[in-house]
Structure 1
Amino acid sequence: MKIEELYEKQGRGVRCLVCERRCLIEEGKKGICRNYTNLEGKLVHIGYGKLSAIESRPIEIKPFFHYYPNSTALTFSGFGCNFYCPWCQNYHLSFSDIPEWIMEVPPEELVSLALKNGDTGLCASFNEPATLYTYLLDVFELGKRKELYSCLVTNGYFTLKALRNLIESGASGFSIDIKGCPKMKVLSVDHKKVFRNAKEAINLGAHVEMVYLVVTNTNDFEECYNWIFNMHLKMLGEDVPLHINRYYPMNYWKEPPTPVEKLIKLKKIAQKEYNLNYVYIGNIGSIEHETTYCPKCGEKLIIRSGYKVLKWNLRDNRCPRCGEKIPVYGEFTRF
């Protein structure tokens, strides 16, 4: 356990300021993510270092296509979540309490393992990283000193203060899931704050890629996807990558998988009507839709398959045919 300073006292309770749920936690109770508790009027991170998984994984699987391409990151996760999406693919972790038998993994041990494995970076993923916030600050700070990059796969619902603290500690990459739009009937969250945080991360020098999981009969209607594309262009710009991913039935959600034709249609809309330069389709195993093309001349620049870079055709991050600058954060790991 570790005391977290990001809270406010309110009467006999404490207001957690790690994420925009801003849970008001009574003495001895837990917040919605079940990782923070009120102990004698202080916010205590009971999930500190309590990890559910540790595994070296390719960065492209997150997905990150423009961030340290072809590298691997030591990927780790905790328990619980602040959203509880009914279609969550990692629900066995996200919907779980912290087991009493789980031992704490010190930041030093995690970073040492990344170095031993030959990983280029660290990545908080699988469940929502907000559950590990206090731990992440220590891990990323140590990783930065060891010249490891640090990134997150997140729903992006941090408070601005927490987001800024993460970036200051060393977080430089954010793969952010945009779950839907204001008219979506599932999940009581403010989707505008997700875009607000993505924009703030970019303004602070971090790399952002957005992920739109297209859930059948849930967030796939015209008003919703147009809102997402419009917010992406207006808040983040045409060069921030957008991954349009296929949904498969999981957990409580039994709607059929997203039709591939729908995904292709949405990609075309994002590119043609909203002028987004880097739009990918995930979860269908298509080399064509995972390839980076030059937005100016159409040259194939980065060909990917199976979460690996098959061909790297950039010169100083520029198109070899027309010289167009392609946004890539971090170095490409050679074969």
Structure 2
Amino acid sequence: MKALSLRELEAAARALLEPGIHDLFAGGSDDEVSLRANEDAFARVGLVPRVLRGRGAPRLDTELLGCRASMPIVLAPTAFHRLAHPEGERATARAAAAAGAIYTVSMASTTAIEDIAQAGGPLWFQLYLQPDRGFTEALVRRVEAAGCKALVVTVDSPVFGRRERDLRNGFMDLPAGMCCENMRPLGPNCERGPARSIAFSPTLSWADVDWLRELTSLPIALKGVLHPEDAKRALDSGVDALFVSNHGGRQLDTVPAPLELLPPIADAVGDRLPLVLDGGVRRGTDALKAFALGARAVAIGRPVLWGLAVGGEAGVAHVLTMLRSELERALALCGCGSADDASPELLHFSRWEPRWRTS
């Protein structure tokens, strides 16, 4: 594969995808201020390397929510992979498994979780808590039976964001023969019934998280926590991790970049909850900056779709290989033996100075 960077891969995917499908994957909400901010935030933070530290070749292996992974780079939940490539989520799962990376399966995947799990790699499952608790419970049981190791509960979507690119392109539904396979209820003979739509509910509350915590023993991460007071509240709900995420700029526009909001959340929770930075990561140096500000891992979304569109399983594998290599190089050049060695002393802030704990 010729792409030397995720930027080049994105350009190649844009050339291959139908314009409406590209916009579906690439777009954000309203004026796309947050979408642009997610990547721009990383450019405003410089790296100040340490030298002569003798740390040796960096180690990237880690453990998150009970899963061993080859690197602290997680595949974020992204929907509709079969729109990018005929093999869809199966190809993504195989590439992630081969790389030893954790794949967070979207609730809106176009392949059923049981089929995705056949790839054999570590899987988490994204969950939108549904107003129909009976359906939610049945889906959680499916996910448990499929072998998923954690639930990633998206909490920033009480209503659906307004995505003007999709409205302009008239994208209202999946094409014939394709649906959100995890929204098909399973019958007594494991037959899949008609798919239902994912429901968004403005009544979603902490009580629903408490209910889910009682329902399952799987680790639970909340995705979309941006305010430090919400992070503190999460500590009381028995959740196991937080994704610091603005939904890729696809929900509420003008929300700051997750990188800018990461330090106060890290300050709020300390070492009590691992944080996953989700939004705008396009280089290994981006990941290193997130680790220095308190993240235990980063998540990548759109780059996976670009790789899938260009080369299927091999394209996703190329994305993971590039990021792994870039992160190893960045850590070595900054004198770090692992992501755990990254700290704020390696950073220079040109436009914004985040609050950081000093104790």
Q: Shorter-chain TM-score category?
A: 0.3 to 0.5
The structure with more helix, counted as a fraction of residues: 2
Greater relative CO, 1 or 2 (CA 8 Å, sep 6+): 2
TM-score (norm: length of structure 2): 0.39
The structure with more strand, counted as a fraction of residues: 1
